[in-house]
Structure 1
Amino acid sequence: MHMQLLFDNKVVIFDRTDFGRSNLSLPSGKCRYNDEAIMEDCTAHSLLYDVASNTYRPLMVQTDVWCSSGSVNSAGILIQTGGYHGGDHKIRVFTPCSDDDCDWIELQHETLSVQRWYASNQILPDGRVIVVGGRRAFNYEFFPKSLLEKPVYYFPFLKETTDPVEENNLYPFLHLLPDGNLFVFANQRSVVLDYVNHKIVKEFPAIPGEKRSYPATGSSAMLPLKLNPPILEGFFPLPPVSPSVEVMVCGGARGGAYLNATNGKFKAASKSCGRIRITDPDPKWVMENMPMSRVMPDMLILPTGDLIILNGAAKGTAGWEAAIDPVLNPLLYKPEESDPNKRFTVLKASTIPRLYHSSATLLPDGRILVGGSNPHVRYTFTGVSYPTELSIEAFSPPYLAAEFSHLRPSILSVEGPTGNVLSYGQQFSITLSMGLYQPEGEYSVTMVAPSFSTHSFAMNQRLLVLYIAHAQQLSVFAHKLTVYAPPTANIAPPGYYMLFVVTRGCLGIVFG
């Protein structure tokens, strides 16, 4: 149900705890006794997956993490918030370690101010996390809290966007903007929230078509931020011009889809995507259609700046047994393609339906890790159309195809960072080699923030296209790029990023 890639190339994966026993035992002597399903549970509902070795080990969560949220802070620690019943006020942390001793820690003296079930998180420029919304939670709060601020701030926008019975505004889409404010989307509406002064500073037109937020679940991404060169005045660089910002929302379901599904009527999901350039003077949604209908899609930004859309169903909505007709084919979307009819490409299908409570995340090697699908109240493996799915698989986008191996760059070194740490606005160099001789060509250097993925939304996801000041061919095979780091914490909140070099659509990778 939930995934988070960590800086050590391991992925924390976890599910709700009140399904009953899982198929993975906890280490000897570890058990939970506060479970809502059984008296004693000595099985794991979380694990740590090591991508490099393709191995995993069990982890122990203390309270129910069902439909919770998370962010990784600047130290690379997963801050995980909320859940269900005994877990709905909880704050948990997972700190990566070099041995096998690290596990979940539930904070004893710090809790959420209100219940957070189906809330969304965003890491902020100052390193704090903002936690927004949740079921019957028309407000937001921060972690860690400041003594000078209120425990919680009322946010009437969330109440205004709630539909009777179905809600359709849970897990709101959050995107941190280059001016430091927060883009918030719920149901069909979106605003810019100044969370420092606690006021809405801009509202946008409603997106046409279907509902887009849980349980009429679509997905959203902020398209790549293309960073501008610094402006030199004398010997001193000035802050660069802020990049333009475009947000994309895809998929969803009609109003009434959830109630219809509970009565066995599954309506076609949305085919539409909307893009809005929120930095325009008069922003408007520009609509286009996917090749197929989709509810519960996962939408991830690839290192190339393209998007991949995968998982989900063609009919119904999110919820227990509320969707049918799984969509098995991922879609590749090229936002820079000028012809709208050529932006979508249908990719090779998976054989495994990924419905409610599945998840996906980008890995440092460029693959997409996909897992889960628990479309039933309990683990159900037989006698149903869509069994509970415990597998994970990796999807390789087209840029990893064998026929492009001769184009794929290999990063040899990164010069400039001290201890693998970049400073804002710092100039640094990347030396790379090509498999075959190639003249100087088009390069891009991108940084991707690993996301907390759940319920079709990759929280904290962002891709930055860095400004390349100079490209030099050193030898037949070697090239050197001189690049500027992101200029501000508003554009790149402090933390760990994946660094990629892209040439002719193929990747070279540094994870740091």
Structure 2
Amino acid sequence: MRFASAALSASSALLLCAGLASAQTYQGYWEPPFDHDLAGFTIPPPGDEFVSVHMALIPKGPNRGKVLVWDRHDNQPKGSWIQRWSVADVAVTPPVFQNGNLTLPSAKGDLFCAGHTWTCDGDLFVTGGTTFYREHHEDFRGGVLTYIYEPDLGSMGEWIRMQDSKEARWYPTTTVLGNDQIINAGGTDDGYVDNYEVFDPHARTWLTFNGSRLLDGPPRPYTRFGWYPRLFLLSSGQVFLAGMWGVSARLDHENAPGVWELMDDGEYFRYVYNTAVLVPNLEPRYEDAVLRLGGDAFDVGAIGYGPTNVVEYCAAGAAAAPAWNWKKAPPLRRGRMHANAVVLPDGSLLVIGGRLNSSDVFPGLFTRVPELLHPEVGVWQDQPNAASPRDYHSTAALLPDGRVISAGGEAALWDYQVFVPHYLADGLPRPVLHPLASEDMGYGQVCTFQHDVMPAGTKVQKAVLVRPASITHHTDFDARYVALKVLGQDSGSITVVTPSGSRRAPRGYYMLFLVSNQGVPSEAGWVRLQ
């Protein structure tokens, strides 16, 4: 396995589930780009360009497998703010957009720069946002609005308003816990909001616990949550903070609320607008691995080095240093910030878009070249150029058919483009998953999935669960890739055991992919872990 640096042990290096016999070129291709159909919006977006700052893959209801997106507005007349939003079907040609206009409470702002995550019931939890857009010398201000988007209500889904959060937050992170509760952390309003709150999706209310500061102050003045802190649930039930702002730390909220354990910072002190992914390893031995990639690098003295190509690995579940210290992984071929990383069903990692110079340097320099890291290759490989740059406020998500939707960006020339990864580009046989007898799946359950018999020399090698995307500002904080333990298989079926608990795979909806020994995934079926 050549994915990680030689400094990592063999078990730790199993970041993206190697072992795929393949005849692939590892080169994908782009489908033609397209723009958002704006029909139905009461207020058109600025410049008639819809920038998909927020994106989530819908897991249930009449629009299952379609993409929910919303954008920014700029300041609106007080008392009449709305939020543009849309359900996009990119599985058809031409793509179809159902556009909506969410009327928001007076003086409460909108949902631009909110945090969001899928709940255990397959509803999207959204909180925070913007009550004031930067004008003259006044900066952005955060919001308290909290909504749950229920995809199975009506033809488009419905937005249900919840109790406001206690703190106003702009750029917060929401992360689901193993007990179904949701942490809402960090962000800014009139200064940094260095605490977290907790929402109970069953009672649909905020809990009384108000969180704790993250050891702010001397001698580490930059030790804070900051913008969209990169938070991930570990299989221990702890939450791991991977930056992007000046600190790594761990929290066991269920057993010790508000108590943060500081960890190693890595090569640089801050990685502004990097991207990060959580990749748990195979059962039965989980060693939670977090990768962080690129970002605008700063040292502890706030000296900037520009966008870096550094990729670092952390054994985030390790007991203590030095095992939990950040270690080098294969670097990107070019330094970039504002990129998006997507874990693919075959275990490879795709990075799309990014800016090549710091955001305060003009003119901006952007890359259209994606990079792919496949575990059988161990170095990043350039992919064909996209039709458009994807920079700040861009998004990307894995689709149920194995393709990747890329969208948004302030420098974008097109609103959307779909990338077809390597495993669909080489004409290799593709597994065909049969319809599931039931979507419901328990923990520690033995399941057999039927599929078409494959051609000689090929077979279904594994089954993986992938949590549907909920991405903004260059990280999907709830992303999870779980390779299921294989108990047996024959020419037309594979038998696996599901994850042992909700800390390893939180309750909710997942895409189920069967993956061949050539690394080609089936189209996804949908299951619900509960």
For residues 316-336 of structure 1, the C-alpha deviation after alignment (integer angstroms, 9 at most, x for no partner) is 13x7x86722111111113x4
Equivalent residue for 2:503, pick from 480, 490, 509: 490
Taking a change above 3 Å as real, the CA distance of residues 5 and 154 of structure 1, as seen in their structure-2 partners, is same
Give the match for residue 5 of structure 2: none
1:180 aligns with 2:243: no
Q: How far apart, CA to CA, are the structure 2 residues paired with 1:323 and 1:154? A: 40
SS in 2 for 1:85: strand
> What is the TM-score normalised by the length of structure 1?
0.79
Note closer, same or farther for the CA distance 1:256–1:487 as it changes in structure 2 (3 Å cut): closer
2:39 maps to none
Label 1:116 to 1:349 Cα distance change in 2 as closer, same or farther (>3 A): same
Say whether the 8 Å CA contact 2:200–2:207 is kept in structure 1: no
What is the distance in 1 between the residues matched to 2:363 and 2:275? 16
- Partner of 1:399, secondary structure, is helix
Shift of 1:95: 0.9
Q: 2:250 aligns with which of 192, 195, 200?
A: 192
Q: Which moved more, 1:194-203 or 1:66-75?
A: 194-203
Structure 1 residues 41-80: aligned runs within 5 Å: 45-53=84-92, 54-61=95-102, 62=104, 63-80=109-126
Q: Which residue of 2 aligns with 1:18?
A: 74
Q: Is the 8 A contact 2:238 2:251 kept in 1?
A: yes
In 2: Cα distance, 1:115 partner to 1:249 partner: 28
Match of 1:396 in 2: 420
Higher relative contact order (CA 8 A, sep 6+): 2
1:290: how far off? 0.9
Q: Aligned-pair distance for 1:176?
A: 0.5
* Map 1:352-501 → 2, pairs under 5 A: 352-374=388-410, 386=411, 389=413, 391-404=415-428, 407-414=429-436, 419-434=438-453, 436-438=455-457, 441=459, 443-473=461-491, 479-501=492-514
Which residue does 1:243 correspond to in 2?
286
| 1:93 and 2:152 aligned | no
Is the contact between residue 316 and residue 323 of structure 1 (CA under 8 Å) also seen in structure 2? no
* Aligned residue identity for 1:424: Y
Matched-pair contact (CA < 8 Å) for 1:120–1:132: yes
1:314 and 2:356 matched: yes
| 2-structure distance, mates of 1:328, 1:193 | 37
Report SS of the residue matched to 2:441.
coil
Relative distance call for 1:64 and 1:496 in structure 2 (3 A) is same
1:2 is matched with which residue? 54
- Distance in 2, Cα, partners of 1:41 & 1:126: 35
User: Residues of 2 paired with 1:435 and 1:299: CA distance?
Assistant: 31
Alpha-carbon displacement from aligned partner over 1:410-436 (angstroms, at most 9, x marks no partner): 112445xxx411011111111112553
What letter corresponds to residue 400 of structure 2 in structure 1? P
- The 2-side partners of 1:158 and 1:217 are apart by 21
2:413 and 2:248 map into 1 onto residues whose CA distance is 34
Aligned mates of 1:323, 1:74 — CA distance in 2: 44
Contact 1:45 / 1:59 at 8 angstroms: preserved in 2?
yes
TM-score scaled by length of structure 2? 0.77
The question of whether the paired residues in 2 share the 8 Å contact of 1:17 and 1:65 is answered with no
**Partner secondary structure for residue 65 of structure 1:** strand
TM superposition shift of 1:65: 1.6
Tell me the equivalent position of 1:327: 367
Give 2:25's aligned residue: none
What SS does the aligned partner of 1:461 have? Answer: coil
Deviation at 1:448, TM superposition (A): 0.5
CA shift at 1:305, angstroms?
1.3
Superposition deviation, residue 221 in structure 1: 0.6
Q: Which amino acid aligns with 1:222?
A: L
Aligned residue pairs: how many?
A: 440
Amino acid at match of 1:358: S
2: CA distance, partners of 1:279 / 1:101? 40
Cα shift at 1:251: 0.3
Corresponding residue for residue 104 of structure 1: 159
Could you tell me which amino acid in structure 2 is paired with residue 174 of structure 1? L
Whole-angstrom CA distance in 2 between matches of 1:271 and 1:347:
16
User: Aligned-pair distance for 1:437?
Assistant: 2.9
Q: Provide the C-alpha distance between the structure 1 equivalents of 2:489 and 2:339, rounded to a whole number of angstroms.
A: 38
Letter in 2 for 1:150: T
Give the Cα–Cα distance (whole angstroms) in 1 for the partners of residues 399 and 497 of structure 2.
Answer: 24
Match of 2:339 in 1: 297
Q: Secondary structure at the match of 2:505?
A: coil
Distance, in Å, in 2 between the alignment partners of 1:49 and 1:471 is: 37
5+ unaligned residues in a row in structure 2: which ranges? Answer: 1-52, 133-141
Residue-by-residue CA offset, 1:234-293 (whole Å, 9 max, x unaligned):
xxxxxxxx5111111110113399x99xxxxx9641010001223445223221421111
Could you say what secondary structure the match of 1:195 adopts? coil
The 3 A distance-change label for structure 1 pair 158 and 489 is farther
One-letter amino acid matched to 1:332:
L
Cα separation, partners in 2 of 1:267 and 1:202, compared to 1, 3 Å:
closer
Corresponding residue number in structure 1 for 2:266: 207
C-alpha distance in structure 2 between counterparts of 1:482 and 1:94, whole Å: 35
- The CA distance in 2 between the partners of 1:2 and 1:389, in whole Å, is 18
**Structure 2 residue 154 is matched with structure 1 residue 154:** no
Task: Give 5+ residue unaligned stretches, structure 1.
Answer: 21-32, 229-241, 261-265, 375-385, 474-478
The C-alpha deviation readout for 1:282-322, integer Å capped at 9, x for no partner, is 223221421111111111111111111111111113x7x86
Q: 3-state DSSP class of the match of 2:401?
A: coil
C-alpha RMSD of the superposition: 2.8
Q: C-alpha deviations, 1:205-236, integer Å up to 9, x for none?
A: 11103621xxx2101111243122xxxxxxxx
AA aligned to 1:497 is Y
1:52 positional shift = 3.4
Does structure 1 retain, via aligned residues, the 8 Å contact 2:211–2:258? no
Q: Which amino acid aligns with 1:372?
A: G
Q: What is the aligned partner in structure 1 of residue 309 from structure 2?
A: 271
Q: Distance in 1 between matches of 2:280 and 2:336?
A: 23
